[in-house]
Structure 1
Amino acid sequence: MARSNEAGGRTRSAPSRIERRRALARRMLAAARAALPADSPLELVLAEDATADRTSVVRVVVRGPDAVGRLLWPPSADTLGEAYLRGDIEIEGDIWTAIDAGRALDVRRLGRDLPRLARLGLDLRRGAGPAPILRRRARLTGRRHSKARDLAAIRFHYDVGNEFYALWLDRRLAYSCAYFETPETSLDDAQEAKLDLICRKLRLEPGMRLLDIGCGWGSLVMFAAERYGVEATGITLSAAQAEWATAEIGRRGLEGRALVAIRDYRDLDTFGAFDAVASVGMFEHVGRERLGAYFRAALAALKPNGLFLNHGIATTATGGGLRPSWLRFGDGGFVGRYVFPDGELVTVEDATGFARRSGFELIDIQRLRPHYALTLKAWVERLEASADRARELVGEEVFRTWRIYMAASRRGFEDGSLDVAQLLLARPRQDGPAQLPLRPWWNGGEHVQHGSEDRPSVGSSV
């Protein structure tokens, strides 16, 4: 519609609906930018305002007024994560800088602007089309942590595709925290060092029987069979993992010495007793209510005086007090919906309590928190380096899910809001406590502290 400007004899057009919505979107982005520190390296712009020659360290490009309305109202970390998955925002540049900038947001400043943001956000939401539906979201049914539901939860995460995981994991496809000598250690070397550390802690020798609960693609099973001469059995609920591992066992000529089977940890009776048991990166899937049954199953699978190594992610505060809301497992947040459905974290102290009450002796605790930060850094860098192929294999949405989840998790381990620990446990002998060497046998006898104030003495009953 045109209006007359009598003073100048000219006419000017009233702003169109699109122009008004763009103006509202710019005001909302300006309010969000004002809540960041003045020296923040983050640039926050609408797609139509983004120039080709980006000068900032990192730029978040928002795809139009509709996307701004979805992004900033309601304001939450989950909203931001979902906006990234949908493609409402693009992160150009270093993803960790973008995450740091978001975490530096002055919530109090944003809170003072909340009434104004609410009005702007509602104005933008009116007339906006519905948000694009995210195709890959966990929708589990049945009783939580029942066998059937656990099977569905595991396959949701791990059956994405073996080739996708092979793009960014190490050559053995070890999908858990590696063990770095220095920050410059390669991922392949750090993962083999982790596998070797586990084997040393378990005191593996030729002819022994090893069980790996939640074995993934069989990295520990094959490593222990090849390097330590044991008879290794791994169990997983992922059909894709079992298929890949079985083929790799054949390729390596390990038939008869290594086996990967689809089996729940609650169904181990047919395997007989093992000299040693490991669980590496599976603990997070068990669920707090099932931890007693989990540790009792591991105890029952062990011969007396046998060792069990439990390696798992932990929370550092009961209820996840320090952890950003969208990194919380098991509460229906971002991670529960899109990454690890039904995953639950407990503290290291809670884990040791469950283990002791189940009949184990606690031999050692080793915290590996800095190592997981380095592992995630390597995974994200490798995923980004293979971004085009990853998108071909699993699509844009899955690529974005793994990229943002792993990048944010790295920061969680760096700032101490997430932890990871190896618990070395022993099944007592029939006539008394386990009998083990007096000093740590896995590091040459020297007792090395690993950031734990509550680390017990080796060989003592704690």
Structure 2
Amino acid sequence: MSATFPLTPQAQSPSPSLHKGQAERVSSLLSGIFDDYSGPPFSIRFWDDSVWRSAVDESVFEIFLCNQNAWHTLSTAPDQVSLGEKYIKGEIEVAGDLFLALRALPQIEQALQDYLPGTSFRTAAKQLINRTSRALHWGAVHSKRRDAAAISHHYDLPPEFYKLFLGPSMVYSCAYFRDWRNDLYTAQCDKMDLICRKLDLSGRDRFMDIGCGWGSLVLHAVEKYEVVGYGASLSQRQVDYANERIAGANRKGQAQVYLSDFRDLSEVQAPVTKLASVGMCEHVGQTHIDAYFREAYRLLLPGGLFLNHGITQSTHAANDRPSFMDQYVFPDGELLTLTEMTRAAEGAGFEVRDVEDLREHYEETLHRWVEALCLHEREAIALTDHETFRIWKLYMTGSAEAFRRGDIAILQLLLSKNAEGQSAASKVREDWYRHF
């Protein structure tokens, strides 16, 4: 599935047209920069409607530089943060296939940085400034204060905004498409069922979801598997919304969601028999991943199971360049490799019982979210603002491409806290799938 977006530049201060000599120099410069470019054919349109094309073939997307500031950024600071800033402010537009544009972006960015002197130094300086500013305002990386601020930055938008693209499930994580023709709601319910079946949930269980979002998995487990359910989130809006849903379903005596850091759960939660964490470990970071799994191990009774569902990065994709995601979407988000995750889990005492990669499912989920968000553009802007809408469109489109490339994956790790060497995990996978 792909999506195209019309060229609708925001109102800009007029910039002078390129005269013939300038246009020729710019065209020559771009031809030199992209001499070895082999990605999808594209064009660059300037504010005076002059156009440069990367190939004689028809362009699959067009980058529109709405003013001189946009051209200055492209030619002096072509990193994803700077270019993303111009996009969300409407100074750079993309016509055509935005997914293909972001597929080509790494090649475009690299060609510009290789050809233009000084861009690497400016990129590194900007990264240092951004990190210093965040430390001054929020404190040390992954301190409790800073983690709470980072979570609030991302999640404390109106729940109605998320519902525009998440749909009625309000599940903000990878869906599971048993059939690629299934609608998103069905796929999200199937994902929650898959988690519950891997954990072998039943009415005998006390179940907890760390980083529970708007309470969807807790409510699903309570209603369908009759567990006693608990959840924890660092977002007050999520906690309030989740408890309202629980009350609306008449399950207040059977479920509760807390405002809590994972490091403080011992203050609010007694040990449980089953544990899940969906989309939480991405916020923990390398420094605290050991503590994260130790806390999960401590929360489980002997014989308990833990399903950790989280994004990982491949070893070849790691880099230290400024990140649009870090700056505008997930402050301090940090992806680990599968090796790092399993090392930390085993170090805490868990036995790794199963690993399942749902990478293609997350790519499809993101395509569905982008399509829905764009269908509800007016409502999204009314609930937030124009820049927030563009940030989310760009972030989710770029994430879909990262999953497609295999730079990142989404892994479900089933972990067991064995009791005298015995695991409660199913001995065969068939039990997880045959009852759908």
> Which residue does the alignment assign to 2:84?
81
| 386-395 or 28-37: bigger deviation | 28-37
Seen in structure 2, the aligned counterparts of structure 1 residues 184 and 30 have a Cα distance that, compared at 3 Å, is: farther
Which of the numbers 317, 330, 335 marks the counterpart of 1:322? Answer: 317
> Which residue does the alignment assign to 1:101?
104
Report the TM-score when normalising by structure 2. Answer: 0.84
Q: Output the CA distance in 2 between the equivalents of 1:43 and 1:407.
A: 20
Which of the numbers 299, 312, 327 marks the counterpart of 1:301? Answer: 299
Matched, 1:219 2:219: no
Seen in structure 2, the aligned counterparts of structure 1 residues 379 and 361 have a Cα distance that, compared at 3 Å, is: same
Report the TM-score when normalising by structure 1. Answer: 0.80
Q: Which has the higher helix share?
A: 2
SS of corresponding position for 1:300? helix
Seen in structure 2, the aligned counterparts of structure 1 residues 162 and 24 have a Cα distance that, compared at 3 Å, is: farther
- One-letter amino acid of the structure 2 residue matched with residue 440 of structure 1: R
Seen in structure 2, the aligned counterparts of structure 1 residues 58 and 300 have a Cα distance that, compared at 3 Å, is: same
Matched, 1:434 2:436: no
C-alpha contact 2:199 2:425 (8 A) present in aligned 1: no
> Which residue does the alignment assign to 1:5?
none
Structure 2 counterparts to residues 349-360 of structure 1, below 5 A: 349-360=339-350
1:369-420 alpha-carbon deviations (Å, 9 max, x no partner): 1111111111111111111111111111111111111111111111111111
Q: Output the CA distance in 2 between the equivalents of 1:344 and 1:147.
A: 16
C-alpha contact 1:138 1:156 (8 A) present in aligned 2: no
| 228-237 or 434-443: bigger deviation | 434-443
Q: Output the CA distance in 2 between the equivalents of 1:80 and 1:398.
A: 16
Q: Output the CA distance in 2 between the equivalents of 1:228 and 1:391.
A: 38
1:215-246 alpha-carbon deviations (Å, 9 max, x no partner): 00001000001111111100001011111111
Which of the numbers 282, 285, 289 marks the counterpart of 2:283? Answer: 285
> Which residue does the alignment assign to 1:232?
229
C-alpha contact 2:208 2:272 (8 A) present in aligned 1: yes
Which of the numbers 87, 92, 95 marks the counterpart of 1:92? Answer: 95
Matched, 1:397 2:353: no
SS of corresponding position for 1:183? coil
RMSD: 2.8
Which of the numbers 417, 434, 437 marks the counterpart of 2:407? Answer: 417
SS of corresponding position for 1:255? coil
> Which residue does the alignment assign to 2:365?
375
Seen in structure 2, the aligned counterparts of structure 1 residues 41 and 249 have a Cα distance that, compared at 3 Å, is: same
| 86-95 or 98-107: bigger deviation | 98-107
C-alpha contact 1:29 1:45 (8 A) present in aligned 2: no
> Which residue does the alignment assign to 2:274?
276
- One-letter amino acid of the structure 2 residue matched with residue 204 of structure 1: L
Q: Output the CA distance in 2 between the equivalents of 1:265 and 1:78.
A: 30
C-alpha contact 1:28 1:68 (8 A) present in aligned 2: no
Q: Output the CA distance in 1 between the equivalents of 2:347 and 2:404.
A: 31
Seen in structure 2, the aligned counterparts of structure 1 residues 178 and 30 have a Cα distance that, compared at 3 Å, is: farther
Q: Output the CA distance in 2 between the equivalents of 1:194 and 1:20.
A: 54
> Which residue does the alignment assign to 2:55?
none
Seen in structure 2, the aligned counterparts of structure 1 residues 75 and 268 have a Cα distance that, compared at 3 Å, is: closer
| Shift of residue 208, structure 1, vs aligned partner | 1.4
> Which residue does the alignment assign to 2:143?
146
SS of corresponding position for 1:152? helix
C-alpha contact 2:198 2:426 (8 A) present in aligned 1: no
Q: Output the CA distance in 1 between the equivalents of 2:188 and 2:387.
A: 28
SS of corresponding position for 2:409? strand
| Shift of residue 42, structure 1, vs aligned partner | 2.2
Structure 2 counterparts to residues 182-261 of structure 1, below 5 A: 182-261=179-258
SS of corresponding position for 2:336? coil
| Shift of residue 325, structure 1, vs aligned partner | 6.3
SS of corresponding position for 2:401? helix
| Shift of residue 38, structure 1, vs aligned partner | 7.7
Q: Output the CA distance in 1 between the equivalents of 2:69 and 2:24.
A: 12
Which of the numbers 35, 54, 72 marks the counterpart of 2:75? Answer: 72
> Which residue does the alignment assign to 1:160?
157
Give the number of equivalent residue pairs: 400
Q: Output the CA distance in 2 between the equivalents of 1:310 and 1:81.
A: 31
SS of corresponding position for 2:341? helix
C-alpha contact 1:234 1:259 (8 A) present in aligned 2: yes
Q: Output the CA distance in 2 between the equivalents of 1:412 and 1:419.
A: 9
Q: Output the CA distance in 1 between the equivalents of 2:39 and 2:140.
A: 49
Seen in structure 2, the aligned counterparts of structure 1 residues 33 and 388 have a Cα distance that, compared at 3 Å, is: farther
Q: Output the CA distance in 2 between the equivalents of 1:88 and 1:234.
A: 42
| Shift of residue 437, structure 1, vs aligned partner | 3.9
- One-letter amino acid of the structure 2 residue matched with residue 245 of structure 1: A
The percent of aligned pairs where both chains have the same amino acid is: 38
In structure 2, runs of 5+ residues without a counterpart are: 1-14, 52-57, 120-129
C-alpha contact 1:286 1:344 (8 A) present in aligned 2: yes
- One-letter amino acid of the structure 1 residue matched with residue 46 of structure 2: L
Seen in structure 2, the aligned counterparts of structure 1 residues 89 and 305 have a Cα distance that, compared at 3 Å, is: same
- One-letter amino acid of the structure 1 residue matched with residue 323 of structure 2: G
C-alpha contact 1:206 1:229 (8 A) present in aligned 2: yes
Q: Output the CA distance in 1 between the equivalents of 2:392 and 2:239.
A: 22
C-alpha contact 2:355 2:414 (8 A) present in aligned 1: yes
| Shift of residue 144, structure 1, vs aligned partner | 1.5
Seen in structure 2, the aligned counterparts of structure 1 residues 38 and 215 have a Cα distance that, compared at 3 Å, is: closer
- One-letter amino acid of the structure 2 residue matched with residue 98 of structure 1: A
Q: Output the CA distance in 1 between the equivalents of 2:370 and 2:399.
A: 11
SS of corresponding position for 1:172? coil
